[in-house]
Structure 1
Amino acid sequence: MPASRVTLADVARRAGVSRTTASFVMSDRTDMRISDEARQRVLAVAEELGYRPNLTARGLRTTVTRTIGLISDTIATTQFAGEVIHGALDTALAHDHLLFVVETSDDPAVEQRLIEGMLDRQVDALVYATMYTRVATPPPALDGRRVVLLNSLDETFDGPRVLPDELAGGRNAAAALVRAGHTDGIYSIGGRHLIPATPDGAWAGRLRMQGAEEVLAEAGLELSGTVECAWEAADGYAAVSGLLETGIRPRALICLTDRLTLGVYQALQQAGLRIPEDVSVVSFDDSALASWLRPGLTSVALPHYELGKAAVDLLLNGDQSRAVHRIDMPIRTRQSVAPPAADRS
């Protein structure tokens, strides 16, 4: 049979003080006249008995539970979710908060039950997140609550939103090629489409390409062409194979995801073209593929850890102003980018 929980009354009794005095000591109240000797005696007894405050009861009294909820569609089953949750967990813990993480599987009925469960447990605030950047509107049950949207494009939301800075990411990708000395023969693979069947799917691709084109224009350059395709390995393989079959030999490729780039590598290598000696390649996501591909792939990172951290930081600092907080997408430089070959025909 488990031992009964040590109560504040037990501490007060052993220390020879009133329960009120023990409560003031354990809550670190300094506005009451309590002798240092009594304070030290209470603290020593609390440690001896293994007393831990009942946070649930305290939450009922103060309406502060030091807990945060993270509710999402399918983020907990994606390969990047661990870093988002890790960033949120670390930040919550650093501020002495607990984080509850739940997943809705994009089912409105499940979402309603989970949100009700969070609110029943009196979480102080919530992060409402999605697996990829799209329009996601929190349900009415969260109206008036302290909420931060993570990865949502909902411009009607009257509060803070956290998004990856895809425009700056596109600029970083193109800048890597410009710094390497590429001036022509630059093609983009993947174009502006993430998931062509959904209207939100083009958001990341559109901003990535806009950023890349801005940097090229600033250098007096432009893309030599774009091959529109979906963002999987087979699509990248087909896109670059088709491009090469027309007789085009690109000097550099901007690929819209690492998955896509896996197929691009295969198509180039099958054609006898070397990376980066013949063709430089830069990509997005900085997934595990980027470091496993040979040569290592220079890729613009999606800042998953920083996204989770920023969302919880906003909740804890009380900033509920209506603003978009864009998180930088740094480039991870590896071996897939080099100056263009001088003797290229």
Structure 2
Amino acid sequence: MPPQRATLLQVAQRAGVSRSTASFVLAGRHQDMRISEDARQRVLRAAQELDYRPNLMARSLRTKVTKTIALVSDTIASDPYAGRAIHGSLAAAVAHGHLLLIGETDGDPVVEERLISDFLDRQVDAFLYASMFTRYVRLPKKLRGRPVVLLNCLTKEAEPSHHSIIPDELAAGLTAARALLEAGHRQGIYLVGHPGGGVFASRERLAGIKEGLGEAGVRLAGVVDCDWWPDSAYDAVSGAIGDGLDPRALICINDRVALGTYQALREAGVAIPDDISVISFDDSELAAWLRPQLTSIALPHYELGWRAVETLLGPAAPPAVTRLPMPIRRRHSVTKPPVE
């Protein structure tokens, strides 16, 4: 059997003070109650000797505060890249003296409802409602009217009722376009990936790319359409090169697409960046593994998690959508266009 935990009464008896005095000292209220320094030191020493830990459940029943946050997500917790949002959330929760409980639904509404009910039964103080991909969501009914921050997702409400913390995908598109323009590219710039309007990131990135190029009077030359996976990108780029496409720069919709693009260009005898510059989004581990290393605009996963908890536990403010910067990681896949 585990050893029996020390009680507050035992701490008080060892310190030679009343139970209420011990309670005030351990709660940090000794000055308010005019408790002597000698008594305070005796209580602290007794608590250390007995390895006293407060009964958080009993405290929560008295104060109605459990100092716990529940994060409800679809698949963010198990994704190797987006999991950094969990790390950021954990770090911020610890900094505020809170525990973070994590529940993953795998997109199943029945599982989601049960998880939220379980968290409510445990009297958590507040919720993070998170998504693997930035998208529009409908907040579950059981979370309405409760302290909630949306992590990497947002609602379509004209006036937001909750804070949303998302990456600034529009500015990321601008960054990608400006990086190519700064390198001297003006022609033959293509997007690789499916820019369908149903995916928030692709729509925002494409809008930013067009805006950035437009500032310099440059137009996107076209789109090499493919799914967001290496094999689809490989097939699409290989087919386009085989049909005579001669691009000078490729903007890949994410790093997985860039991987397939690299393979296709290598097989076609096209050198990166001497013949074609390549830039991408996400800055996953793939970006640094590829050769040459890939210039990519980073998703700020850790910062998203940190900011969501800071917003949840910080001073009250009107609900708003907060877009976090996506910094560019400059490596070796972008250079000036070849001389014709």
Same-fold call, TM > 0.5?
Answer: yes
| Counterpart AA for 1:124 | D
Report the Cα offset of residue 82 of structure 1.
2.2
Q: Following superposition of structure 1 onto structure 2, how do residues 255-270 of structure 1 map, counting pairs within 5 Å? A: 255-270=252-267
> Conserved in 2, the CA contact under 8 Å of 1:124 and 1:146?
yes
Q: Distance in 2 between matches of 1:269 and 1:108?
A: 44
| Counterpart AA for 1:338 | T
| Counterpart AA for 2:338 | A
Q: Following superposition of structure 1 onto structure 2, how do residues 142-161 of structure 1 map, counting pairs within 5 Å? A: 142-156=143-157, 157-161=160-164
> Conserved in 1, the CA contact under 8 Å of 2:298 and 2:326?
yes
| Counterpart AA for 1:85 | I
Q: Following superposition of structure 1 onto structure 2, how do residues 99-178 of structure 1 map, counting pairs within 5 Å? A: 99-156=100-157, 157-178=160-181
Report the Cα offset of residue 191 of structure 1.
4.2
Q: For residue 83 of structure 2, give the secondary structure of its aligned residue in structure 1.
A: helix
Q: Which runs of 5+ in 2 are unaligned?
A: none
| Counterpart AA for 1:208 | R
> Conserved in 1, the CA contact under 8 Å of 2:152 and 2:164?
yes
Q: Distance in 2 between matches of 1:212 and 1:106?
A: 31
Report the Cα offset of residue 153 of structure 1.
2.9
Q: Distance in 1 between matches of 2:56 and 2:315?
A: 21
Q: For residue 128 of structure 2, give the secondary structure of its aligned residue in structure 1.
A: strand
Deviations for 1:165-195, whole angstroms, at most 9, x for unmatched residues? Answer: 10011111111111111111111111413xx
Q: Distance in 1 between matches of 2:63 and 2:54?
A: 13
Report the Cα offset of residue 51 of structure 1.
0.8
Instruction: Give the corresponding residue for 1:180.
Output: 183
Q: Distance in 2 between matches of 1:200 and 1:14?
A: 66
Q: How many pairs does the alignment contain?
A: 337
Instruction: Give the corresponding residue for 2:22.
Output: 22
Instruction: Give the corresponding residue for 2:231.
Output: 234
Q: For residue 131 of structure 2, give the secondary structure of its aligned residue in structure 1.
A: strand
Q: Following superposition of structure 1 onto structure 2, how do residues 309-320 of structure 1 map, counting pairs within 5 Å? A: 309-319=306-316
Deviations for 1:243-287, whole angstroms, at most 9, x for unmatched residues? Answer: 222322111011101111111111111111100000000011111
Q: For residue 118 of structure 2, give the secondary structure of its aligned residue in structure 1.
A: helix
1:244 to 241, 245, 261: 241
> Conserved in 2, the CA contact under 8 Å of 1:135 and 1:200?
no
Q: Distance in 1 between matches of 2:238 and 2:136?
A: 34
Instruction: Give the corresponding residue for 2:327.
Output: 330
| Counterpart AA for 1:118 | F
Q: Distance in 1 between matches of 2:287 and 2:335?
A: 16
> Conserved in 1, the CA contact under 8 Å of 2:154 and 2:321?
no
Instruction: Give the corresponding residue for 2:13.
Output: 13
Deviations for 1:297-330, whole angstroms, at most 9, x for unmatched residues? Answer: 1111111111111111111104352200111111
After superposition, the CA RMSD in angstroms is: 1.4
More deviation, 248-257/222-231: 222-231
Q: Distance in 2 between matches of 1:301 and 1:250?
A: 24
Q: For residue 81 of structure 1, give the secondary structure of its aligned residue in structure 2.
A: coil
More deviation, 118-127/318-327: 318-327
Deviations for 1:212-232, whole angstroms, at most 9, x for unmatched residues? Answer: 111111112111112222111
Q: TM-score, normalised by structure 2?
A: 0.95
| Counterpart AA for 1:248 | L
Instruction: Give the corresponding residue for 2:3.
Output: 3
Q: For residue 228 of structure 2, give the secondary structure of its aligned residue in structure 1.
A: coil
> Conserved in 2, the CA contact under 8 Å of 1:192 and 1:205?
yes
Q: For residue 47 of structure 1, give the secondary structure of its aligned residue in structure 2.
A: helix
Instruction: Give the corresponding residue for 1:219.
Output: 216
Q: Distance in 2 between matches of 1:301 and 1:40?
A: 50
| Counterpart AA for 1:27 | A
> Conserved in 1, the CA contact under 8 Å of 2:192 and 2:233?
yes
Q: For residue 52 of structure 1, give the secondary structure of its aligned residue in structure 2.
A: coil
Instruction: Give the corresponding residue for 1:87.
Output: 88
Q: TM-score, normalised by structure 1?
A: 0.94
Percent identical pairs in the alignment equals 57
> Conserved in 2, the CA contact under 8 Å of 1:166 and 1:208?
yes
Q: For residue 230 of structure 1, give the secondary structure of its aligned residue in structure 2.
A: coil
1:274 to 255, 271, 275: 271
Report the Cα offset of residue 77 of structure 1.
2.1
Q: Which runs of 5+ in 1 are unaligned?
A: 194-198
| Counterpart AA for 1:28 | G
